[in-house]
Amino acid sequence: MWIVLHLNPEPWAIGQMSVGRANGRAYPKMSRNPQVAAYQDAVRSGVEDYLKLIHVPREQALIDGPVDLRFWFWRRMDVYRSSQARNVRKHEVDATNCQKSTEDALHGIFFRNDKNDKHVESTMVVQDHTVEPRIVISVEPYIEDLSPIPPLVLEAMHAPLVPQVRAQALNDLRLDSEIF
């Protein structure tokens, strides 16, 4: 299933840290980051609206087995006012932080537990101050495919557990200019 959301990708970030007490012991507590929480609510809402639009009940969208998730992000780096009343532009972020916050938002819609996400891939297509923000999501049942792994690497995986032998097999692979 393919989904396009016209949302500005938000990277995962931690919330406020505090200390709680129970049974005479202190333990760390972390709240949800409000900006990430709002983003995840918007992602869930956008996906649920799309499922309704194409007449797919939410429970039918749930994949029971392994899942293949792919994300493409177009991120606008907005300007905002800091607590010191200065204009600040959002920083560039890496694709995996946007992947994490978006993947967490899809929990319970396409998969019951993110342990089922066998393949997760993300691409930050572009991020700047003029881009039209959007997220493209592909979610499918996972089908194992080891074909991208070069045969020499697969052979090295099965080499005896003697470090020099495995290192030599990988070194031979480096000499192949078509691969590296």
pLDDT of residue 180: 44
Tell me the sheet residues that pair with 54. Answer: none
CB 167 within 8 A of CB 102: no
- In the chain, the N- to C-terminal Cα span, in Å, equals 33
Which tens digits make up the pLDDT trace of 120-167?
999 999 999 899 999 999 999 999 988 888 888 888 777 666 555 556
Which tens digits make up the pLDDT trace of 110-119?
998 888 999 9
Q: How confident is the model at residue 87 (pLDDT cuts 50, 70, 90)?
A: confident
Any idea where the domains of the chain sit in the sequence?
A: 2-145, 148-180
Tell me which residue has tokens 């649920």. Answer: 48
Query: At the fourth CATH level, which superfamily is domain 2-145?
Result: Holliday junction resolvase RusA (3.30.1330.70)
Which tens digits make up the pLDDT trace of 39-84?
999 999 999 999 999 999 988 999 999 999 999 999 999 877 777 8
Structure pTM?
Answer: 0.76
